[in-house]
Amino acid sequence: MKDIRSYSLPELTDEFKNELDLPAFRAKQVYKWLSDGVSDFDEMTNISKELRNNLSNTYYISVATIEKKLVSVYDKTVKYLFSFRDGETVESVVMNYRHGYTICVSTQVGCKMGCTFCATGQGGFSRNLAPSEMLAQIHSAQRDLGIRISNIVLMGMGEPLDNYANVLKFLRLVSSEDNLNIGMRHISLSTCGLVDRIYDLEKEKLQLTLSVSLHAPNDEIRSRTMPVNKRYPIDELLKACRHYVRATNRRISFEYAMISGVNDSDECARELGQRLKGMLCHVNLIPVNPVKGTGYRKSAVERQQSFIRILGKYGITATVRRTLGADINASCGQLRRKASEEK
Ligand code: SAH
Ligand code: SF4
């Protein structure tokens, strides 16, 4: 069976013509239904029953089925546990900001990178998601909530640049006019720092925002919390970031989860300031979300303020990320883990 939601309109048009002898307008009709988020060929009411049957013998429509849904009582943030055809599950979160709805999409089932503070990283890796399965998360959320999503962050489960080809295909599909038409300027991609792939991404010249999960000012601390740092040390990573900024003229965001007593001293802030000085960038400070079994605790507010002040001296702007969905474990990986513990 072929995964019809992973096609672009030109690809589907070609295949319909060459293999099914169908005219271009049929491909367009079917594609319109797919981008409206249908989950079954029978919903395509302007297509004959016979053709719907034929299509469903050759193709399947990727769907993200809602297994669990949690709604924050504080801020209406919604967290989903979705399942796919093979029963694998991932999490997505929908946040309502003033400028519209933002969805946090997963790109893999699990993750290979093993960051010590991350619930997903602690659970191991199962498989990559197809482009269609990333799109399906958006469709399911939109249909369930009766909304249009305007912004996407690839900050759910998984390392997007470790599933490079599928993520690139997803980005092209989701931003295309025939599809969900969410512009690259409304998309952020977060990576733990796969340096070779950052150079590849740079060549694509996309208008998206690159977020880099730094979380430490030096190799000693970073290697302790992020094993990927042993493969790609900080100097190499920041060299790639500087190169990326020059080539794309886009500002990079650095994510910095503040962990009490681990990476939040004034000395850490000064070292970070030294390293980032002169780069077109912004630092997002995130009070670490305590994950069971890690023993990590959030830094005090006083530490956050001190970081902002010290980074400012080096000309680096930093802000503390607003916490949404605090009551529903909105940081990814935690709901899936809870669900598997309950089984
Ligand atoms: N794999 C990618 C994207 C998914 S993780 C990456 O690591 O960048 C999305 C963000 O959540 C990353 O910045 C990650 O470091 C951060 N994160 C993971 N666990 C966290 C936790 N317990 N508290 C705060 N941030 C966390
Ligand atoms: Fe993977 Fe990102 Fe979690 Fe690290 S923080 S384990 S890269 S999902």
Judge if the beta carbon of residue 288 lies within 6 A of ligand 1: yes
What pLDDT, on the 0 to 100 scale, is given for residue 332?
Answer: 60
- Reduced to 3 states (helix: H, G, I; strand: E, B; else coil), residue 60 is strand
Q: What is the mean pLDDT of residues 69-79?
A: 90
Contact assessment for residue 153 and residue 104, using Cβ atoms and an 8 Å cutoff: yes
pLDDT value of position 74: 84
CATH of domain 2-60: 1.10.150.530
Atom of ligand 1 nearest to the CA of 154: 3
Decide: pTM greater than 0.85.
yes
Ligand 1 near 289 CB (within 6 A): yes
Give the span between the Cα atoms of 299 and 248, in whole angstroms.
34
CATH 3.20.20.70 matches 65-334: yes
Among candidate residues 104, 241, 268, 332, the one labeled active-site is: 332
Pocket of ligand 2 (CB under 6 A): 111, 113-115, 118, 120-121, 158-159, 192, 213
Whole-number pLDDT of residue 80:
96
- 125 Cβ closer than 6 Å to some ligand 1 atom: no
Please report which confidence band the pLDDT of residue 331 belongs to, taking 50, 70 and 90 as the band edges: low
- The gap from C-alpha 29 to its chain's centroid, in whole angstroms, comes to 29
283 lines ligand 1 (CB under 6 A): no
Whether 21 shows a pLDDT value over 60: the answer reads yes
User: What is the model's pLDDT at position 98?
Assistant: 77
- Identify whether the C-beta of residue 300 lies closer than 8 Å to the C-beta of residue 309: no
Q: Which two tokens stand for residue 7?
A: 């096609």
Q: Where are the beta strands (DSSP E) in the chain?
A: 2-3, 59-60, 65-71, 78-83, 89-97, 100-104, 108-110, 125-128, 149-154, 187-191, 209-213, 252-258, 281-287, 317-320
Q: Do the beta carbons of residue 74 and residue 59 sit within 8 Å?
A: no
Query: Could you tell me what percent of the chain has a pLDDT over 90?
Result: 88
> Residue 338: pLDDT above 80?
no
Percent of the chain with pLDDT over 70: 95
CA 333, 339, 343: angle at the middle one, nearest 5?
A: 140
- Distance between CA atoms of residues 35 and 25, nearest Å: 15
Alpha carbons 51 and 9: distance in angstroms, whole number: 18
- Please confirm, yes or no, whether 268 is among the known catalytic residues: no
3-state secondary structure of 217: coil
Cα separation, 323 vs 334, whole angstroms: 15
Range in 71-75, 158-162, 237-241, 247-251 with the lowest mean pLDDT: 71-75
Q: How much is the pLDDT for 76?
A: 85
Residue 198 has pLDDT above 80, yes or no: yes
The pLDDT tens digits of the residues spanning 103-159 come to: 999 999 999 999 999 999 988 999 999 999 999 999 999 999 999 999 999 999 999
pLDDT at 327: 73
Per the DSSP assignment, residues forming a β-bridge with 154 are 189
Residue 75 pLDDT:
83
Both tokens of 167, joined, read: 């993520």
Kindly report the protein residue whose alpha carbon is nearest to atom 15 of ligand 1: 213
Mean pLDDT is lowest, of 1-5, 95-99, 108-112, 303-307, for 95-99
Q: What are phi and psi of 74, to 5 degrees?
A: -80, -50
Ranges of each domain in the chain: 2-60, 65-334
Measure Cα distances from 60 to 2, 10, 66, 273, 286 in Å.
Answer: 6, 18, 18, 51, 40
Q: Tokens 């399911």 appear where?
A: 140
pLDDT tens digit sequence for 255-299: 999 999 999 999 999 999 999 999 999 999 999 988 888 899 999
Write down the catalytic residue from 50, 88, 91, 192.
91
Mean residue pLDDT across the chain: 94
Give the integer Cα–Cα distance in Å for 242 and 53. 53
Q: Tell me the ligand closest to 211's alpha carbon.
A: 1
- Residue 273 CA to ligand 1 centre (angstroms): 21
